[in-house]
Structure 1
Amino acid sequence: MRMILTRRAGRLSFKLAALMATLFISYLIGTGNWKANSSSKTLNFTQLGYDDENRPEKACNCQAILKGDREALAEAKLLNLGKTFRKQVQVPDQFYVNASKDCMKYRTSRKYLTFPLSQEEEDFPIAYSIVLHHKMQSFERLLRTIYAPQNVYCIHVDRKAAPSFFAAVSSVASCFPNVFLVSRREYMIYNGWSRVQADLNCMAELNASSVPWKYFLNLCGQDFPLKTNLEIVRALRALDGRNSLGSIPMPWDKKWRTEKVFKVVKGKWNTNGTKKTGQPPFKLFSGNAYIIVTRGFIQSVLEDRRIQVLLEWAKDTFDAEEMVWATIQRIPGVHGSTWPHSKYDIGDQHAIARLVKWAWHEGNPTSKNAAYPPCQGVHVRGVCVYGAGDLQWLLTHRHLFANKFDINTDPIAIYCLEKYLRQKVLDQLREMNGEYGWELPGTSQ
């Protein structure tokens, strides 16, 4: 009897979500944001982003850019060079403070999807940790793209961040019951332990959350998804309780990071060449700062005494975020982990957490040393900040997110990717219409 009641409650919940979806879409149609093609019933979203009608990126042809059309890419580059265009795409922090004073109006005008799009997604909530220090517009567009009401989002803002930025993040977060600022903030130092600690702080609060989330993903403000929430859910379900993160034996050229004592003094790295005493508690592995792990993995990180010893040992190492998660992934008994044997080594191209282009691995397809084509944007610390010309390549991969994007470098790349993902979401809604038997307004012939 209890099982029957649970199922009925689930169906009722989803019908309610469907009704909310219908009302939301009715609003969009009423404001001219949807177009229906009567012959194909294809729904097109025509207003995206801040100041939709006048958004300067609309001058570019996103559809052609995503196909790698040379003429469209050349026009996008030319547009990017214009000083007026550069100025127009900037959105001040105060805009978000003012806009989010009326939360209902803000959520509606920014077109957040505040209802589960499917039962499948509602039954598979995800936990996110997002670490930030600047670029409010990038963060808000990231949040809007990955937002779903069944998920939960922990936001860590660097204690050094500008007050205007912190105010803007706080104001936007306050409009959503499942988005919160972490209670303990860190002074973030590049390659420092504070990067790990920021995620640990969010891990603790997410683990204490009543939301029954299944997987944890950590992001930064310059990440952007390559998949819709439904696609992310299906990719995580396919992991079947396993984690997905890079984990290979510590390369010889990175061993110095863990062999000497590194400390941050007055915001700067300092080492006097002192060697670390004692051996590490486990064989060390190398990977990436960004991970996809189960809730059980997070519980091990927070509660397993063996891991607590490793974390304490790693606090005075350099670039610890690229070592600790990769090493924990190979500790026997950790949920979703793999054996430390070399047969289970996995590189960042095979883990689905993050797609990154490193300068020293770029090259032409004919080069035997090239892992991917040249960056079409610019490089920062050896990492490609993607340009519009990278989008076609990015969307051929199964990774869930990509890093790095920067509105100051190429706003068109983010705009077109955001538009592409929203259209996929709308296509998903159309499919749901057929599957569940309720009709979206404007689709009948």
Structure 2
Amino acid sequence: MCQLERTKCSFLLCLGMGIIMCSLIYLRIRKPTEQKYLHSPSCRPFSPECRPFLSGSENKGLWYRLDCQVKSYILNGYLKCSRLKKDLHFINRPLSREEEDYPLAFIVTVHKDLELFIRMLRAIYMPHNVYCIHVDAKAPREYQVTIHKLVSCFQNIFLSSRSETVTYAGFSRLQADLNCMKDLANSKTAWRKVINLCGQDFPVKSNLELVQYLQSKQWRDKNMTPGVKQPMAMKYRTQFQYKEIKGSHVALKSPRLKKGPPPHNLQIYFGTAYYALTRAFVDFVLKNPIALDLLEWSKDTFSPDEHYWVTLNHIKEAPGSWIDGGWDGDIRAIKWWDQEGQKHDGCKGHYVRGICIYGLEDLRWIINRNSMFANKFESDTYPEALDCLEQWHRNKVLSKATVPEDPSWLLATQDTLNGGDSGFYNSSA
């Protein structure tokens, strides 16, 4: 009987000590995590104007950013590829069978704002897609080296085999896309459509939404190149011969010389430089004599990327051509200065070359439009706008996933226990 009592006491003692030890371990692990969320000295707080996009009426939890060192992480000389995807919150597996069965190709041309580029890349990244990055040859050496270091950690991201010194409105901008197209044409990834981006874009649609949009009845077998017959106001771009001052600007040749008519009696169209193209059309662009002749003719025009793609897409023989497409295809949400008061309520950031650099108050317009992408952003000028849109986009991406969520995919965490407003805008962060 005494032996039984001693055994019982020993068991209760061990059980009590075990509970105490587990509690101490739990508190030790939990405390730093909470500190990281609430008191990280490097994280900007989400702006008050961001809250409606992150927390609906049914969800009063507060959001705390987890990722605040993107640029410094990449600049770290001891970068380990084995940890990069996890540390930078890249999604490392397909989120649905529908997306996996429809891989996309992306062409991204960049020359500045490393922070924005990395955050945009991880927003559009999926392991079954393929990405060609064209880095402007005039970009700073450190920038080029850093991009190369980042890209080398991914099997499905690569640098363009040839780098151009890109000039605004010059042929070099068109050539940069073509360089990537040649590389993508040789890719082993069975990509279905290619989308081109610049380094100041950010996605609005999730990858799943892009796939569904590009596979919709209207666009399933079609190229998306919004544009119309060249208006009279744009005739100057192709009527006269221009020369590209490398890395600087485009100017009329002197003496002023008129160009001959376009080859093959082509009707020139005017439109956006951005597109979504079928793989068969890309093959047409790279090999067809009509496409090659138009390319040669376009070398001394002004901003040829705004007529080249859309003109080719109006050729009946071109795969996936869209003869009567007009401005159909919601590729970009852009606030142009001359459309203020007509198509938008004004730029809440500021204009550069007549295009809005988005501020935080522009987000509602961007989200309501639900274009494929929005342009333009600057990570240093209006960082809160990028923070908010990025988190809103990641929330949407993960909400539609058909696979278990990996904690490393989270860019922010939600505190559903402490719902006070002060945490959401934590001024100590």
Q: For residues 335 and 262 of structure 1, do their structure 2 counterparts lie closer, same or farther at Cα, with a shift above 3 Å needed? A: same
Which of 334, 341, 359 is the aligned partner of 2:337?
A: 359
Shift, 1:424, TM fit = 1.3
Q: Is the 8 A contact 2:70 2:88 kept in 1?
A: no
Q: Is the 8 A contact 1:57 1:411 kept in 2?
A: no
Equivalent AA in structure 2 for residue 278 of structure 1: G
Which of 144, 161, 167 is the aligned partner of 2:145?
A: 167
Which of 44, 50, 65 is the aligned partner of 1:56?
A: 44
CA distance in 1, matches of 2:383, 2:54: 14
Specify the SS of the correspondent of 2:108: strand
Correspondence list, 1:216-255, <5 A: 216-238=194-216, 239-255=219-235
Q: For residues 208 and 56 of structure 1, do their structure 2 counterparts lie closer, same or farther at Cα, with a shift above 3 Å needed? A: same
Residue equivalent to 2:59 = none
Residue equivalent to 2:379 = 407
CA distance in 2, matches of 1:114, 1:106: 11
Which of 301, 324, 345 is the aligned partner of 1:317?
A: 301
Percent of pairs with identical residues? 38
Residue equivalent to 1:380 = 352
Residue equivalent to 2:183 = 205
Q: Are 1:276 and 2:258 an aligned pair?
A: yes
Shift, 1:54, TM fit = 3.4
Correspondence list, 1:70-149, <5 A: 95-98=73-76, 101-149=79-127
CA distance in 2, matches of 1:338, 1:32: 59
Deviations 1:311-331 (A, max 9, x none): 000000001111111111101
CA distance in 2, matches of 1:98, 1:59: 29
Equivalent AA in structure 1 for residue 262 of structure 2: P
Deviations 1:347-389 (A, max 9, x none): 2xx32221211100111xxxxxx12221111100000111111
Q: For residues 231 and 100 of structure 1, do their structure 2 counterparts lie closer, same or farther at Cα, with a shift above 3 Å needed? A: farther
Q: Is the 8 A contact 2:205 2:372 kept in 1?
A: yes
Residue equivalent to 2:364 = 392
CA distance in 2, matches of 1:33, 1:250: 61
Q: For residues 432 and 291 of structure 1, do their structure 2 counterparts lie closer, same or farther at Cα, with a shift above 3 Å needed? A: same
Deviations 1:206-229 (A, max 9, x none): 011010000000000000000111
Unaligned runs of 5+ in 2: 1-28, 57-67, 406-429
Q: Is the 8 A contact 1:100 1:106 kept in 2?
A: no
Q: For residues 314 and 428 of structure 1, do their structure 2 counterparts lie closer, same or farther at Cα, with a shift above 3 Å needed? A: same
Correspondence list, 1:417-436, <5 A: 417-429=389-401, 432=403
Q: For residues 269 and 360 of structure 1, do their structure 2 counterparts lie closer, same or farther at Cα, with a shift above 3 Å needed? A: same
Which of 137, 143, 160 is the aligned partner of 1:182?
A: 160
CA distance in 2, matches of 1:151, 1:371: 34
Unaligned runs of 5+ in 1: 1-29, 36-45, 69-88, 364-369, 435-445
CA distance in 2, matches of 1:265, 1:416: 39
Correspondence list, 1:11-22, <5 A: none
Q: For residues 59 and 31 of structure 1, do their structure 2 counterparts lie closer, same or farther at Cα, with a shift above 3 Å needed? A: farther
Specify the SS of the correspondent of 2:139: coil
Residue equivalent to 1:75 = none
Residue equivalent to 1:416 = 388
Specify the SS of the correspondent of 1:352: coil
Shift, 1:126, TM fit = 0.4
Length-normalised TM-score, structure 1: 0.75
Q: For residues 393 and 32 of structure 1, do their structure 2 counterparts lie closer, same or farther at Cα, with a shift above 3 Å needed? A: farther
Specify the SS of the correspondent of 1:142: helix
Equivalent AA in structure 2 for residue 58 of structure 1: F
Higher RCO (C-alpha under 8 Å, 6+ residues apart): 2
CA distance in 2, matches of 1:255, 1:100: 53
Q: Which structure's CA Rg is the greater one?
A: 2
Length-normalised TM-score, structure 2: 0.78
Equivalent AA in structure 1 for residue 227 of structure 2: S
CA distance in 2, matches of 1:276, 1:136: 41
Residue equivalent to 1:290 = 274
Q: Is the 8 A contact 2:42 2:69 kept in 1?
A: no
Which of 355, 358, 371 is the aligned partner of 2:343?
A: 371
Equivalent AA in structure 1 for residue 311 of structure 2: T
Deviations 1:158-201 (A, max 9, x none): 11000111011111111110000011000110000000000000
CA distance in 2, matches of 1:33, 1:279: 69
Q: For residues 240 and 167 of structure 1, do their structure 2 counterparts lie closer, same or farther at Cα, with a shift above 3 Å needed? A: same
Which of 221, 224, 239 is the aligned partner of 1:259?
A: 239
Equivalent AA in structure 2 for residue 110 of structure 1: L
Q: Is the 8 A contact 2:46 2:388 kept in 1?
A: no
Specify the SS of the correspondent of 1:112: coil
Q: Is the 8 A contact 2:90 2:122 kept in 1?
A: yes
Q: For residues 373 and 66 of structure 1, do their structure 2 counterparts lie closer, same or farther at Cα, with a shift above 3 Å needed? A: farther
CA distance in 1, matches of 2:398, 2:30: 17
CA distance in 1, matches of 2:108, 2:151: 12
Q: Is the 8 A contact 2:225 2:271 kept in 1?
A: yes
Which of 158, 163, 166 is the aligned partner of 2:136?
A: 158
CA distance in 2, matches of 1:244, 1:32: 51
